[in-house]
């Protein structure tokens, strides 16, 4: 196999603010695996919160390039195990390579991944559209710019209830909120009933990622479902969320790819947890990987390409929240660049 990669700094349409800060660009790492002329692509955006910049992905890949290239590729799950042991501390790099392995595998089989997994695409939930934290006026403007059936609204800052109240004046769409670990237990206990009255569907990561005691109490008292994100990173975290959250938000990049994400989905379902996959502002490449898994999910947040001002692939599209699948093999995208 030949490995090539490119890095991008994708500009957002609007500066994107969550309770942890603001960004105007999304750095991302894209890898190409070429095997007998067939090319598979995978992506991992760099997220400063997880402390793996694109430079670290490049450094680690270059340090073991020969091992990545000499692997005799047969199936993506075997490849993931190999990568997981090769790069035990770089789940982002493993994600990009795992995704490329799956894209390659689908292309070799001339099928889209959901077809190989026998999934029914009519079961895919609608994706939400994310509204970052801004002035109320700008948040309303962003919502009006993108009419959508479900909005995920970033909260976790002072005045966040007033934000939701103001947005509610302008739409009857479903709201879900993401506090990104921005509340204390007391704030959550006070805010969640108000949010329920405002028609909010669920709350993502209300408390700090390690506040399991707080979550136990909130889980017992919350009138809205609670979804773990920062508290559920790797496979072993799924079980910890049982009896503390009602569901989990899997991110392909943080868990290290499609292969572990499929196991996390199965584990969560076994425990009776709701399952969501969220994005980390991936381009259409990483977003297409989420789309392949969408029929297995209760909720999906895969609006990356809608938030970005530039994309590096085509193939991901939506009709008012509904994911439109195409006939391209593998992930279902055409990458614009040559590597
Ligand atoms: Mg989140």
| pLDDT tens per residue across span 114-152 | 999 999 999 999 999 999 999 999 999 999 999 999 999
Domain count, the chain: 2
Q: What residues does the ion ligand 1 have nearby, CB within 5 Å?
A: 178, 204, 229
Q: Give the residue from 48, 83, 110 where a domain finishes.
A: 110
11 pLDDT above the threshold of 80 = yes
CA of 180 to the centre of ligand 1 (A): 6
Provide the token pair at 25: 């660009």
Residue-range definition of the domain harbouring residue 237: 115-335
Same domain? 291 vs 217: yes
Give residue for tokens 């991992």.
44
CA of 314 to the centre of ligand 1 (A): 25
Same domain? 35 vs 174: no
198 pLDDT above the threshold of 80 = yes
Mean pLDDT of the chain: 96
| Mean pLDDT, range 228-250, rounded to an integer | 98
Q: What is the CATH number of the domain that holds 75?
A: 3.30.390.10
CA of 176 to the centre of ligand 1 (A): 11
**In this predicted structure, what is the pLDDT of residue 204?**
98
Closest CA to 218 of 253, 196, 189: 189
Closest CA to 135 of 113, 152, 117, 157: 157
Same domain? 106 vs 145: no
pLDDT digits (tens, 9 = 90+) for 34-84: 999 999 999 999 988 888 999 999 999 999 999 999 999 999 999 999 999
pLDDT digits (tens, 9 = 90+) for 302-323: 999 999 999 999 999 999 999 9
Q: What is the CATH number of the domain that holds 163?
A: 3.20.20.120
| Bridge-based pairing state of the strands 313-314 and 317-319 | unpaired
Same domain? 176 vs 217: yes
Entry pTM? 0.97
CA of 277 to the centre of ligand 1 (A): 10
Q: What is the C-alpha R_g of the chain?
A: 19
CA of 216 to the centre of ligand 1 (A): 19
183: confidence class by pLDDT, cuts 50, 70, 90: very high
CA of 234 to the centre of ligand 1 (A): 15
Partners of 21 in the β-ladder: 18
Within 10 angstroms of residue 169's Cβ, the number of other Cβ atoms is 8
Spatial contact of 302 and 43, defined as CB atoms under 8 Å apart: no
**In this predicted structure, what is the pLDDT of residue 12?**
94
Same domain? 68 vs 175: no
CA of 37 to the centre of ligand 1 (A): 38
**In this predicted structure, what is the pLDDT of residue 143?**
95
Same domain? 200 vs 293: yes
Same domain? 44 vs 168: no
274 pLDDT above the threshold of 90 = yes
CA of 144 to the centre of ligand 1 (A): 23
Spatial contact of 292 and 258, defined as CB atoms under 8 Å apart: yes
Partners of 76 in the β-ladder: none
**In this predicted structure, what is the pLDDT of residue 49?**
81
Collapsing DSSP to helix, strand or coil, 226 comes out as strand
CA of 297 to the centre of ligand 1 (A): 16
Same domain? 98 vs 232: no
Spatial contact of 56 and 121, defined as CB atoms under 8 Å apart: no
CA of 177 to the centre of ligand 1 (A): 9
Same domain? 187 vs 87: no
| Bridge-based pairing state of the strands 247-250 and 226-228 | parallel
Same domain? 8 vs 94: yes
CA of 154 to the centre of ligand 1 (A): 8
Q: Give the residue from 62, 92, 110 where a domain finishes.
A: 110
164 pLDDT above the threshold of 90 = yes
19: confidence class by pLDDT, cuts 50, 70, 90: confident
DSSP type of residue 37: T
Distance (Å, whole) CA 181 – CA 205: 5
Within 10 angstroms of residue 186's Cβ, the number of other Cβ atoms is 9
* Terminal-residue alpha carbon distance, the chain: 14
Q: What is the 3-state secondary structure (H, E, C) of 66-118?
A: HHHHHCCCCCHHHHHHHHHHHCCCCHHHHHHHHHHHHHHHHHHHCCEHHHHCC
Same domain? 149 vs 54: no
């Amino acid at each position: 196999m030949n490995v090539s990669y490119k890095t991008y700094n994708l500009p957002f349409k609007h500066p994107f603010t969550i309770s942890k800060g603001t960004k105007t660009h999304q750095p991302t790492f894209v890898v190409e695996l070429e095997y007998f002329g067939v090319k598979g692509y995978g992506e991992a955006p760099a997220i400063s919160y997880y402390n793996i910049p694109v430079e670290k992905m490049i450094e680690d890949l270059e340090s073991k390039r020969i091992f990545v290239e000499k692997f005799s590729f047969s199936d993506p799950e075997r490849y993931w195990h190999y990568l997981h042991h090769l790069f035990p501390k770089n789940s982002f790099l493993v994600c990009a390579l795992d995704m490329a392995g799956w894209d390659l595998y689908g292309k070799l089989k001339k099928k889209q991944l959901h077809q190989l997994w026998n999934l029914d695409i009519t079961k895919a939930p609608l994706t939400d559209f994310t509204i970052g934290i801004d002035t109320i006026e700008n948040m309303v403007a962003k919502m009006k710019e993108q009419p959508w059936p479900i909005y995920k609204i970033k909260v976790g800052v002072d005045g966040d209830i007033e934000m939701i109240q103001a947005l509610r004046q302008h739409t009857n769409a479903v709201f879900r909120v993401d506090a990104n670990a921005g509340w204390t237990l007391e704030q959550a206990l006070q805010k969640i009933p108000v949010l329920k009255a405002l028609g909010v569907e669920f709350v993502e990561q209300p408390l700090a990622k390690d506040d399991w005691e707080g979550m136990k109490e909130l889980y017992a008292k919350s009138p809205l479902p609670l979804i773990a994100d920062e508290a559920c990173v790797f496979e072993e975290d799924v079980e910890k969320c049982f009896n503390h959250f009602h569901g989990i938000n899997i991110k392909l990049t943080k868990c290290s790819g499609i292969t572990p994400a499929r196991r996390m989905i199965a584990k969560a379902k076994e425990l009776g947890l709701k399952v969501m996959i969220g994005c980390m502002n991936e381009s259409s490449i990483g977003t297409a990987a989420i789309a392949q898994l969408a029929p297995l999910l209760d909720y999906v947040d895969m609006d990356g390409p809608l938030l970005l001002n530039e994309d590096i692939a085509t193939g991901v599209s939506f009709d008012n929240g509904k994911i439109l699948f195409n006939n391209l093999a593998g992930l279902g995208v055409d990458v614009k660049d040559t590597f």
